[in-house]
Amino acid sequence: MKSNRRQTARNLIVSGYFVIFVGTTIGVVQQTSNLYFQQSWRADVNTFSTVFASFTAIVAWWFLSRIIADKPDQLSLIRKAYLGLALQALLLSINVLIYLITYPDVSWVSASTWGFGLGTITTAIGFFLMASSYPSSSNSSEEVLSAEQ
């Protein structure tokens, strides 16, 4: 059961970051088609860095979500870390969703905002699932299963 939960959590985390990547890529394509890149070199670097940052987040979480904690002190730390990441993603998604509710715009121009909002919601769910897949410190004698099991 815990291995299925961990695999589902891993898929949600990576999928969430993939949605963010797709949203930022659509945003860059939209800006390119509107000749946005002739404004300044700082704006160009800023725009491309978001695409590369979102891609590297996919790669990083692909590997980080495979880390297994097997000692009681590690279990407590990794559980707290995933809960902290889940809370961060949840708060970011609430911020974006408030913006999207205030200014509802479903278009290619707002694709990066929608991608970020949906991606952070997905990663928040994945982080919560990943945290719950590790036993609490009082149940630390439970067997810890790898993500592949």
pLDDT tens sequence across 17-70: 999 999 888 888 887 777 666 667 777 787 788 889 889 999 999 898 888 777
Using the predicted structure, report yes or no on whether residue 88 has a pLDDT greater than 50: yes
Domain assignment present for residue 146? The answer is no
Dist. CA 95–CA 108, nearest whole Å: 20
Q: Residue 48 has what pLDDT?
A: 81
Give the residue with greater pLDDT, 70 vs 84.
84
Dist. CA 126–CA 17, nearest whole Å: 11
Q: Record the tokens describing residue 34, joined without a space.
A: 């509107």
Domain assignment present for residue 149? The answer is no
Whether residue 58 contacts residue 17, with contact meaning beta carbons closer than 8 Å, is answered with yes
Dist. CA 75–CA 124, nearest whole Å: 19
Give pTM, 2 decimals: 0.77
Q: Residue 112 has what pLDDT?
A: 83
Contacts of 130 (CB under 8 A, 6+ apart): 6, 9, 10, 13, 65, 82
Domain assignment present for residue 148? The answer is no
Domain that holds residue 112: 2-139
* Count of the separate structural domains present in the chain: 1
Cα dihedral 91→80→69→143 (10° resolution): -110
Domain assignment present for residue 147? The answer is no
Domain assignment present for residue 145? The answer is no
